[in-house]
Structure 1
Amino acid sequence: MQDSNICTHCQLKENPNALLWVKCDSCPQWVHVKCVPLKRIHYPDIPSPSVFSYPKSSQEIKSYRCVNHYEEEFLAVFPRGLPNGKRQRDHGEYEESSHISKRYNFRKNKDIDYIALNEGEARREKMNHPHKETFLTCFEKWENKSNIISAAEFAATFNDIREPYKISDPWSSGVQVPKMDTNNGVLTVNDIMEIMGEDYHVDVMDVQTQMNENWTLGSWNRYFTHTEPGKRDRIRNVISLEVSNIKALELERPAAVKQNDLVDQIWNWNGHLGQVNDEEAEEDNPRPKVTKYILMSVKDAYTDFHLDFAGTSVYYNVISGQKKFLLFPPTQSNVDKYIEWSLKEYQNSFFLGDILEDGFAMELNAGDLFMIPSGYIHAVYTPADSLVFGGNFLTFRDLETHFRIVEIEKLTKVPKRFTFPKFDQVIGKLCEYIVLSKNKETGGGSHTDLIAEATNSKIELLYGYLIKPEVKYKPLNFASRKHLVKALADLVL
């Protein structure tokens, strides 16, 4: 029997060249509007043989009859767009719904609800993301089992690393997750709720629609821990619970991350007093909170392709469960395709991984530590309920990529609250530190490696960013940003 969600013309579920769907008035059969022959499209004010264009939205469509119920296929369109009233909607099994919201990867778009119908674009099963099978096929194509490195080697060669790596001995990396008295000592969602409190608010993403809802940890724990997978109403995901201020969780990042995190290196530096790491300084100017995240995903959760803010690098420690990563390097070709896809209204309509190049895929299991370098475009699938500890960090190594991704965020209109917090401050402080240290006005400070890496090319990158009029930074040790920019330029003249 023909699958009603497969277009009877092109035999495809997803066709990037034909995004608009229409359902037969008498059965659940769907077809792509652009697959219907023009001679079968009827405008009241245009003779059928003279029709040269398709309707652009489902609101223009009055009715559709498929070949399964009528002698000839027939697509009727309202005269010159919408009639006085709205198109009649079904209120049974195929009830339609439409909403505007922000996607998880932070672009304003009209989302497709794969559980209901969104103006006829698509219809999907409740607990099965439409990209699951395509993701798994693409994953098999690019699966990598060889990029495994020791923690010591990773730390020693950090500045030369350009590919994702799994750490063979995560216990030697410095990453720490607290041992608990229950569940064989493994941290659970219930433990996190008890530590942080059941009334603590979290953003919960509906995987099918990529919409965020505000829950409490108590509600999330009931859903994740106490609801059997078959009884969950939707597939949900928590990927933005930042916990660096929750000291009771006793989480520690890998040593190589702390050593190379640009924020760690310069945030509390204040010029003439050198490096400062006391709590009072942190209270006066809180650092960007992106270093420690708890991610909680149920089976079949899927996160679509995205770039982490400012092209940050990522460490990813699986506490329990399983994850599958599909990643693509930030080559010019891949980035151009990502930008084009990001600017489309219906990203969900086709699988970006099918057109990207030089893929890398890796399966992660409980205990694994995964390191992702800057700028990788990636999607993630969850084969089993999972709990993860991870975080983001800027590096001097990837300065060029960071600036490049920041420009992409502007181009794709990422809302400011979803970009790297205080990014201009981080870069401004770095510029001051380099200028004053190079000029030996502060005795150089404690980060000799950072200064050694401050080559002319890196300083030119910093100069190119700081001169942009939209950059907001008030220097600590210079009269104005203009004076700081001139001091940077003097270093490379």
Structure 2
Amino acid sequence: MQDANICTHCQLAENPDASFWVKCDSCPQWVHVKCIPLKRIHYSNLVSSGDLTYPSSTKEIRSYRCSKHKEDEYLTVSAFVIRKGKRQRNVENAEDIHVNKRYNFRNNQVIDYIALNEGEAKREKMKHPHKDSFMNCFEKWQNNSNIMSAADFTAKFDDIKEPYKISDPLNSGVYVPKMETHDGFLTVHDITEIIGENYRVDVMDVQTQMNESWTLGSWNEYFTNTEPDNRDRIRNVISLEVSNIEALELERPTVVRQNDLVDRIWSFDKRLGQNDKKKKEEDDPRPKVKKYILMSVKDAYTDFHLDFAGTSVYYNVISGRKNFLLFPPTQLNIEKYVEWSLEEHQNSVFLGDVLQDGIAMELNAGDLFMIPAGYIHAVYTPVDSLVFGGNFLTIRDLQTHLKIVEIERLTKVPKRFTFPKFNQVMGKLCEFLVLNKINATGYDTDGDLITKTTDAAIQSLYVYLTKPEVKYRPLNFTSRKQLAKALADLIS
């Protein structure tokens, strides 16, 4: 098999005359841009071929398919072209061309040169520099006692503050369909066939912790059909959301469905009947965070992070193995996390060495893991693994959710990495609480949701709702100010 790091044109891993590489859009193969025959570069017929030169930067390249593939074997340049050494804009056609973010590029060097501590050190391309620190920390905090039955976990859900492994996941309500091939286990190949090989996925480069945009077919080629020794990099998919893909037939644990705040309040509107509510939800679909597929190869590592809005997480390992290192959202830990997040040389610091009260747990195929809100965690993958999981907000952790959202603002988390429509969820919750908590016997729906909402939580909601940066248009009140006043009146 051709080494994915060897250019198929010049057969070299390093070429001083080639300034940058491009990765095939449909497989893991990298090539030097300047090694590709000029006649195979397509410029959207903007100028005659005699005027063209090679692209001089990655910004001018939209996509590429290598010679292994029969269709579209071209470099495609976006609305910018090169002519006689100068970049010119095709104004006439610029609005007709959609330019995606271009992630599939790297410099000529195979080894990353990243500043570590005082100087620059070479990183091994197949090993994250924090792996050894992670394993040492994992051993220090290893926990084999946080295990609970599905029935007990459901009964005690409102009081649970630590991560737990479910001892009998088959009784939890979580469901992953059996397949006719591969010993009955769902595989990356199956998922690719169901969703479609042209579906776009974000692929994380473990060394840089940055995302690239791949097709699912390209990812399947890398994960399923490329031997570990021939993989050019260690990569990870942790954000393939599949809530609307019914053909996958995935089901969340019962306790998640019972406590998912979005499910319980999203369609609430006093003015609407059931048919109108259904139509309204079609026009304004709820946030898509329920079901994710995570696909990680051996030695994949995800550095410390908080799930958006500090959501709780369910995590069902379909195949493979995972190591989790988690720390609770104590004041000290949150302060250290914020400090680390704002650190210019974040990659040089292993956060686990300064956090307290850790919990380290190993998960194997079939295990179901439940993580409560706000836990700061990192994940290491010892073997190729496939996981079904998801995120959910709860009344139990409302104050933690609001606290983490403020931390996201302080640490300048990009909007696309935050909980989608969070302001709408909180606004709808405020309306739900006000309109249902009429009097002691006035609950018309979800009475337990009302009783579980403490005065402290309502006060936190009020503070959040009245922030200038929070945008929400009430459904049942004339203004956000009127809604906030009604919410404040609920506090006894």
- Provide the TM-score with structure 1 as the length reference: 0.75
Residue 81 of structure 1: aligned partner? none
**How far apart, CA to CA, are the structure 1 residues paired with 2:440 and 2:199?**
46
Q: Check whether the contact 1:399–1:458 (CA below 8 A) recurs between aligned residues.
A: yes
Please say if 1:282 is aligned against 2:278. Answer: no
1:186 CA drift (Å): 0.5
For structure 1, the residue ranges without an aligned partner over 5 or more in a row are: 1-100, 104-112
Per-residue CA distance 1:421-441 (angstroms, 9 max, x = gap): 100110110110110111269
SS in 2 for 1:381: strand
Per-residue CA distance 1:35-69 (angstroms, 9 max, x = gap): xxxxxxxxxxxxxxxxxxxxxxxxxxxxxxxxxxx
Residue 454 of structure 2: aligned partner? 455
Residue 35 of structure 1: aligned partner? none
Residue 425 of structure 2: aligned partner? 426
Q: Check whether the contact 1:151–1:169 (CA below 8 A) recurs between aligned residues.
A: yes
Per-residue CA distance 1:185-211 (angstroms, 9 max, x = gap): 100000000000111110111100111
Residue 401 of structure 1: aligned partner? 400
Please say if 1:438 is aligned against 2:437. Answer: yes
Per-residue CA distance 1:210-241 (angstroms, 9 max, x = gap): 11111111110010001111110100000010
1:279 CA drift (Å): 5.0
Match of 1:117 among 103, 113, 118: 113
Residue 154 of structure 1: aligned partner? 153
Alpha-carbon RMSD across the aligned residues, in angstroms, is 2.1
Between the two proteins, what is the percent identity of the paired residues? 72
Distance 1:313 1:121, change over 3 A: same
Whichever residue aligns with residue 123 of structure 1, its letter is K
SS in 1 for 2:120: coil
1:489 CA drift (Å): 1.3
Q: Check whether the contact 2:436–2:445 (CA below 8 A) recurs between aligned residues.
A: no
For structure 2, the residue ranges without an aligned partner over 5 or more in a row are: 1-100, 104-108
**How far apart, CA to CA, are the structure 1 residues paired with 2:444 and 2:221?**
50
Residue 205 of structure 1: aligned partner? 204
Q: Which has the higher mean CA deviation after the structures are superposed, 449-458 or 217-226?
A: 449-458
**How far apart, CA to CA, are the structure 1 residues paired with 2:491 and 2:126?**
57
Residue 482 of structure 1: aligned partner? 481
Residue 79 of structure 1: aligned partner? none
Distance 1:278 1:244, change over 3 A: farther
**How far apart, CA to CA, are the structure 1 residues paired with 2:274 and 2:284?**
14
| 1:215-226 paired onto structure 2 within 5 Å | 215-226=214-225
Distance 1:274 1:397, change over 3 A: farther
1:273 CA drift (Å): 4.0
**How far apart, CA to CA, are the structure 1 residues paired with 2:261 and 2:226?**
41
Per-residue CA distance 1:245-273 (angstroms, 9 max, x = gap): 11111110001001101001101111244
Q: Check whether the contact 2:201–2:240 (CA below 8 A) recurs between aligned residues.
A: yes
Per-residue CA distance 1:147-169 (angstroms, 9 max, x = gap): 00011110111000000000001
Whichever residue aligns with residue 486 of structure 1, its letter is K
1:121 CA drift (Å): 2.6
Residue 247 of structure 1: aligned partner? 246
**How far apart, CA to CA, are the structure 1 residues paired with 2:454 and 2:364?**
40
Whichever residue aligns with residue 175 of structure 2, its letter is Q
**How far apart, CA to CA, are the structure 2 residues paired with 1:116 and 1:485?**
51
**How far apart, CA to CA, are the structure 2 residues paired with 1:102 and 1:264?**
35
**How far apart, CA to CA, are the structure 2 residues paired with 1:358 and 1:275?**
47
Q: Check whether the contact 1:114–1:122 (CA below 8 A) recurs between aligned residues.
A: no
Distance 1:431 1:441, change over 3 A: farther
Q: Check whether the contact 1:115–1:208 (CA below 8 A) recurs between aligned residues.
A: no
Whichever residue aligns with residue 187 of structure 2, its letter is T
**How far apart, CA to CA, are the structure 1 residues paired with 2:397 and 2:390?**
16
Q: Check whether the contact 1:334–1:357 (CA below 8 A) recurs between aligned residues.
A: yes
Distance 1:102 1:133, change over 3 A: farther
Per-residue CA distance 1:114-158 (angstroms, 9 max, x = gap): 932246533111111101111011100100001000111101110
Q: Check whether the contact 1:308–1:375 (CA below 8 A) recurs between aligned residues.
A: yes
> How many correspondences in the alignment?
384
Residue 303 of structure 1: aligned partner? 302
**How far apart, CA to CA, are the structure 2 residues paired with 1:457 and 1:213?**
42
Per-residue CA distance 1:302-346 (angstroms, 9 max, x = gap): 000000010000000000000000000011111111111000011
Residue 409 of structure 2: aligned partner? 410
**How far apart, CA to CA, are the structure 2 residues paired with 1:102 and 1:183?**
35
Q: Check whether the contact 1:334–1:356 (CA below 8 A) recurs between aligned residues.
A: yes
